[in-house]
Amino acid sequence: MGQQDRTGMDVRWISQTGVAEHAGGELEGLLERDDGFVWVDVPVSGDDTAQHLSDLFGFHPLAIRDVIERRHVPKLHAYPEHLFVIVHAPEAGEPGHVHLIEIDQFIGRRYLVTTHGPLGRGVSLDLALRETRHVLGRLESGRLRPTTPFELSYAIVAAVAHRQGTYLTELASQVALLERRVREGNEGDPVRLLEEMFLMRHELLSIRTTAAESRDVFARMGALTRMIPPEAPPLIDDLIDRFERVKSLCDNEKEFTQGIIDFYQARTTTRMNVAMERLALIAAVLLPVTAIASIYGMNLIVEERSDLPQLGIVLAVMVLVTGAMLTWSKRLGWW
């Protein structure tokens, strides 16, 4: 973490020699230098910080409102002096829920401003800063040497795309375990198992939606040829390809999960049909017996006198009718 002023901003100077931390009060002087560019990272974006950014950089009020309020859809706005981009990094929550961690970026010619949040319930600040801290680590180790703010922005968004892919890989492993349970019949509670499958498919759908929307945002950015720097097109194409691959893989995993659900439901339905057929067979076999018993039963067995010969005849008829019904149902393949 860098040196923060009262508004909570981390100010860093990026040049060919590396990254240097600065106090917030030095920001205006850094913006006048031409031997590098400024990266301002705002871990917690409140009203005071937003107003300070608006006064210092002249950001549009609508963009400032997007910084303060949560946005669930990626976004791109092009202004004369900068681009404003919203992207989302996924984080697993409770089963079936995916947290969308918002990262806002103002990409100028001499600066990059990144803001985080507002954070949803259950999302820590460490999770919100995961991608920017990863990029900062690469800067400090010398593995990343961006020469323009757009190159630094690309590194952050690439980390977001990587996180989407990593999350998808983790889900794919869970889908494989789920498929094995269903295939081997280790189902346990069937209601809970079916709920697990639907929740997993929902997580895949959430990642797929986020990747597809991010892909569309950068496809739109690539079309703004007069408003992006000359080094941007190949970087934008790479981001589009990254998000497209995540989207495609999500589609494949979602289809596979749906196949597991269909297989499980088909097998369960088949078991129910077999059970219903057997119950229907039992009812059909016993129906003649029940009819005969209902007609003769009370008249054959009484306290004062029982007609044993007639009782024997009726029982024999019941046995013959039951045997005939079983033989007929066997020939039809009902059992």
Over range 253-265, report the average pLDDT: 87
Q: Where are the domains of the chain?
A: 10-267, 272-331
Over range 65-84, report the average pLDDT: 89
pLDDT at position 315: 75
Reduced 3-state DSSP string for the chain: CCCECCCCCEEEEEECCEEEEECHHHHHHHHCCCCCEEEEEECCCCHHHHHHHHHHHCCCHHHHHHHHCCCCCCEEEECCCEEEEEEEEEEECCCCCEEEEEEEEEEECCEEEEEECCCCCCCCHHHHCHHHHHHHHHHHHCCCCCCCHHHHHHHHHHHHHHHHHHHHHHHHHHHHHHHHHHHHCCCCCHHHHHHHHHHHHHHHHHHHHHHHHHHHHHHHHHHCCCCCCCCHHHHHHHHHHHHHHHHHHHHHHHHHHHHHHHHHHHHHHHHHHHHHHHHHHHHHHHHHHHHHHHHHHHHHCCCCCCCHHHHHHHHHHHHHHHHHHHHHHHHCCCC
pLDDT at position 235: 95
CATH code assigned to 10-267: 3.30.460.20
Query: How far is residue 156's CA from residue 87's CA, in Å, rounded to a whole number?
Result: 10
pLDDT digits (tens, 9 = 90+) for 195-206: 888 898 999 999
Where does the pLDDT of residue 301 fall: very low under 50, low under 70, confident under 90, or very high at 90 and above?
low
pTM of whole model > 0.85? no
| Cβ–Cβ < 8 Å for 171, 246 | no
pLDDT digits (tens, 9 = 90+) for 217-240: 999 999 988 888 889 999 999 999
Where does the pLDDT of residue 2 fall: very low under 50, low under 70, confident under 90, or very high at 90 and above?
very low
